[in-house]
Amino acid sequence: MENQVLTPHVYWAQRHRELYLRVELSDVQNPAISITENVLHFKAQGHGAKGDNVYEFHLEFLDPVKPEPVYKLTQRQVNIMVQKKVSQWWERLTKQKRPLFLAPDFDRWLDESDAEMELRAKEEERLNKLRMENEGSPETFASMKKGYLFMYNLVQFLGFSWIFVNLTVRFFVLGKESFYDTFHTVADVMYFCQMLAGVETINAVIGVTNSPVLPSVLQLLGRNFILFIIFGTMEEMQNRAVVFFVFYLWSAIEIFRYPFYMLTCIDMDWKVLTWLRYSVWIPIYPLGCLAEAVSVIQSIPVFNETGRFSFTLPYPVKIKVRFSFFLQIYLIVLFLGLYINFRHLYKQRRRRYGQRKKKID
């Protein structure tokens, strides 16, 4: 009767260019580790879950790898690194169904987006070293960029924090009366913050940050349309309570987003702030869009009455086009954008917190 083959516990993680395997065997000496026909073969004497025995396993990789594994022995485990032939992200490790002895290595695991950031950071670090060698400059572009982004996020954080605290204190002191002079109280700071937000979009366009360009542009244009057109050009709208809710909800999101980016610039990760950054927007973002929609709806009769921004098409059409027609179209686009952005942001959050293990398996 043949002896039963013992398999150790194996944990894996990946980057775009490498695979990492951690074999839970202690006191291993001279293991037999090789790759033939894209299959990893492992056999070693060591102390594992079944005591001191010979353990072995075989893994057929999902895609081609280089046949030269590199391993390192420690007192408690065997660490194996395998190079992928093509730099890409794998949806799983093995071609066949995941074996029972294989599990994700959460100590080393990164989502694909996080791994891309790490890859860019390593590439940026390599380029900076080459630049320093060529130029002999002690100040690298990476450090300058981090300082610039840190200061930008700090200024935005201070601006939106001032708005948020101001509106909160005035509400507790004055109650509902504070709603009606919100614009005249904080509009100057909000103008400054929203104009400065254009820098954020420029950063995404020219590649200073990894933020997607389209969401950044849409948010900038949408907010500035409400601020400069709906509120800024119509005095009749500036004394309405909806201004308070729009400004308050905008600032409530940003007082968590900008400090999160600040800490990212200096390679710090505060878990509480990270959770708030990825969670607070869930109720506040739809409420902010709803407040913007209310402001647009309330402005429609005002624009119709004043005729501002309305125009008449030239002869022979001679049809008067009211600006309220474009506002109605904007409402449709606003809620369509809400659906698209909310779906995208929620999927991002699920990847980070709720569905990691399901995605790995």
Q: Determine the structural domain holding residue 222 and report its residue range.
A: 140-354
Would 246 be classed as within a structural domain? yes
Query: Binning pLDDT at 50, 70 and 90, where does residue 223 land?
Result: very high
* 82 and 151 part of one domain: no
Hey, what amino acid is at 217? V
Residue that is last in its domain, among 135, 161, 191: 135
Would 69 be classed as within a structural domain? yes
pLDDT tens digits for 60-110? 999 999 999 999 999 899 999 999 999 888 988 998 888 889 999 888 887
* 57 and 79 part of one domain: yes
285 annotated active-site: yes
Would 5 be classed as within a structural domain? no
Choose the weakest-confidence range: 2-11, 77-86, 125-134, 336-345: 125-134
339 annotated active-site: no
What domain count does the chain have?
2
* 195 and 301 part of one domain: yes
* 191 and 59 part of one domain: no
* 328 and 212 part of one domain: yes
* 234 and 313 part of one domain: yes
* 181 and 284 part of one domain: yes
Would 71 be classed as within a structural domain? yes
3-state helix, strand, coil in the chain (%, to 5): 60, 15, 25
Residues 6+ apart with CB under 8 A from 83: 17, 18, 19, 65, 66, 68
CATH of the domain at 72: 2.60.40.790
* 108 and 154 part of one domain: no
Would 53 be classed as within a structural domain? yes
pLDDT given for residue 354 in this prediction: 56
Residues 6+ apart with CB under 8 A from 117: 210
Residue that is last in its domain, among 135, 165, 187: 135
Residues 6+ apart with CB under 8 A from 139: none
β-bridge pairing 10-14 and 102-104? parallel
Written as six digits, the tokens of 7 are 């398999």
DSSP 307-355: -TT-EEPPTTT--EE-HHHHHHHHHHHHHHHHHHHHHHHHHHHIIIIIS
Residue that is last in its domain, among 103, 135, 167: 135
Residues above pLDDT 90, as percent of the chain? 52
Report which of residues 342 and 227 the model is more confident about.
Answer: 227
* 110 and 154 part of one domain: no
Choice among 24, 200, 254, 292 that is catalytic: 292
pLDDT surpassing 80 at residue 317: no
pLDDT given for residue 333 in this prediction: 85
pLDDT surpassing 70 at residue 36: yes
Choice among 11, 278, 285, 330 that is catalytic: 285
Give the 3-state secondary structure of residue 46.
strand
* 98 and 41 part of one domain: yes
* 244 and 307 part of one domain: yes
Query: Binning pLDDT at 50, 70 and 90, where does residue 361 land?
Result: very low
pLDDT given for residue 43 in this prediction: 93
pLDDT tens digits for 187-218? 999 999 999 999 988 988 888 887 778 778 88
Would 1 be classed as within a structural domain? no
* 289 and 341 part of one domain: yes
User: How far does Cα 138 stand from its chain's mean position?
Assistant: 31
Would 110 be classed as within a structural domain? yes
DSSP 257-290: HHHHHHHHHTT---HHHHHHHHHTHHHHHHHHHH
Would 3 be classed as within a structural domain? no
- Contact yes or no for 341/331 (Cβ under 8 A): no
The CA distance from 208 to 186, in Å, is 30
The tokens 């309220």 sit on which residue?
324
